Structure 1
Amino acid sequence: MSDPLTHALALHTAKEGRPPTVLVDMDEVLCHWEKHFVASRRRRFPHIPIADAGNRDSFDLFTGLSEEERRANTTVLDEPGFFAALEPVPGGVEAVGEMVRAGIDVAVCTSPWLSNPTCASDKLLWVQEHLGPELANNTVITRDKSRVLGDVLIDDKPEVTGAVQPQWSLLRFTRHYNRLLEGPRIDDWSQWREGLARVLLERGGPPRHPASGQLTGHG
């Protein structure tokens, strides 16, 4: 008997006539953004206290901060090369490789910090170094992920919204600022197969006709 992910992939392919497209966020999903940020803040502004990584209750980095703290945060985030120096989250690189080998269409989907002059190129360099040139070619850098086509988005952001209704379903990657929200989630990369299978099965429906690509049955 096939495992749940193999079953879910087969059902999705039968319905859509193609394997699923999985979009994977970078910061705090594939790479340790907050850990590097806190270390950089303490190095550059040692006189301004900052909580340890993992203790931030709000996803918004500027909530409840003084003007001095806001300026310090912005200075760190604007530093050229900041986004190229992040350490991989354990298991993430391996999980993406397993998805690709399972026949899943994988794309990295990440938002840039617009005032950092090297953010976009840093992110592409990171993907190329850790995931390879093919995934670098399949990287989408956008401020509005709702416009990106896909079946599942793995992301740590509590609510991922934009200008349009997204076609993908959100699979949250658990972090301290989203841990109380309901909905499908994985706590770490060891759970990706079960989490992805659950979301794909929840998206299930009648199969498409293999020739026309249209749904069978009455609409």
Structure 2
Amino acid sequence: MKNTIIYIDMDDVLCDFMGAYHEHIQNCPEMKFPQAQVDFFRNLKPIKGAIEAFDKLSELQNYTVYILSAPSEMNPLSYMEKRIWVENHLGYNAVEKLILSPNKALLKGDYLIDDYTEGKGQDQFEGKLLNFGSNKFPNWNSILNYFSIE
């Protein structure tokens, strides 16, 4: 039996990119690209329920879960900082599941959980896109319900 592959985006799905972005803009309005700052990605807070949901999805039989995130063009350190974030919040074993790609359509899989529907290849992903933050999937509980996880 083939394993079902689930990709989970990081920014605004696992971690609160926009919250940190707006906080930086509010505190330092002249800063045009806060995401270019050292430690921006490393210090993002997890989205409510994201860590628990990742763990639950990872425990499913016949499913393989990966983290699929686009690196920041504004911050070359995002590659390293995203990797450190994964280890700090999801554990060392999750580091082996981290994929950084500017084009998510390049990967083969069954599901992509992402807050955007286009821009980084989401609209050309061959599997089913679960649009996190949408009316249908507003939070992690709705994602877990979709996969019939309590």
Is TM > 0.5 for Structure 1 vs Structure 2? Answer: yes
The one-letter amino acid of 1:81's match is D
Question: C-alpha separation between the residues in 2 aligned to 1:123 and 1:98?
Answer: 21
Instruction: Tell me the equivalent position of 1:29.
Output: 13
Distance in 2, Cα, partners of 1:123 & 1:145:
16
Match 2:55 to one of 79, 93, 97: 97
CA contact (8 A) 2:116 2:122 kept: no
Q: Could you list the runs of 5+ residues in structure 1 that have no partner in the other structure?
A: 1-16, 49-71, 180-184, 198-219
Contact kept, 8 Å, 2:105 with 2:124, in 1: the verdict is yes
Corresponding position: 1:77 with 2:61: no
Contact 1:172–1:186 under 8 Å retained in 2: yes
Name the structure 1 match of 2:139: 188
Distance 1:98 1:163 in 2: 24
Partner of 1:39: 23
Give 4+ residue runs of structure 1 displaced > 6 Å after superposition.
none
* 1:60-90 CA-partner distances (Å, limit 9, x unpaired): xxxxxxxxxxxx332x121111001111011
Work out which of the residue numbers 113, 118, 139 in structure 2 matches 1:159.
118
Contact map agreement 2:70 2:120 (CA 8 A) in 1: no
1:70-219 counterparts in 2 under 5 A? Answer: 72-74=31-33, 76-103=34-61, 104-159=63-118, 162=121, 165-174=124-133, 185-196=136-147
* Aligned 8 A contact 1:156 1:173 in 2: yes
Aligned Cα RMSD in Å?
2.1
Distance 1:161 1:84, change over 3 A: closer
Distance (Å, rounded) in 2 between the aligned partners of 1:129 and 1:25:
17
Distance 1:130 1:35, change over 3 A: same
**Structure 2 gap segments, 5+ residues each:** none
Deviations 1:24-57 (A, max 9, x none): 0011111111111111112222xx6xxxxxxxxx
Distance 2:57 2:18 in 1: 26
1:165: Cα distance to partner? 4.2
Identical aligned residues as a percent? 25
Retained in 2: the 8 A contact 1:171–1:196?
Answer: no
SS in 1 for 2:54: helix
Equivalents in 1 of 2:128, 2:67: separation in Å? 15
Tell me the residue number matched to 1:201: none
Deviations, residues 120-177 of structure 1 (Å, cap 9, x unaligned): 11101111111112211111101100001211000000335639943221001015xx
Q: Give the letter aligned to residue 38 of structure 1.
A: H
Structure with higher Rg: it is: 1
SS of 1:22's equivalent? Answer: strand
Secondary structure of the residue that 2:7 maps to in structure 1?
A: strand
Give the direction of change, closer, same or farther, for the CA distance of 1:19–1:124 in structure 2 (3 Å limit): same
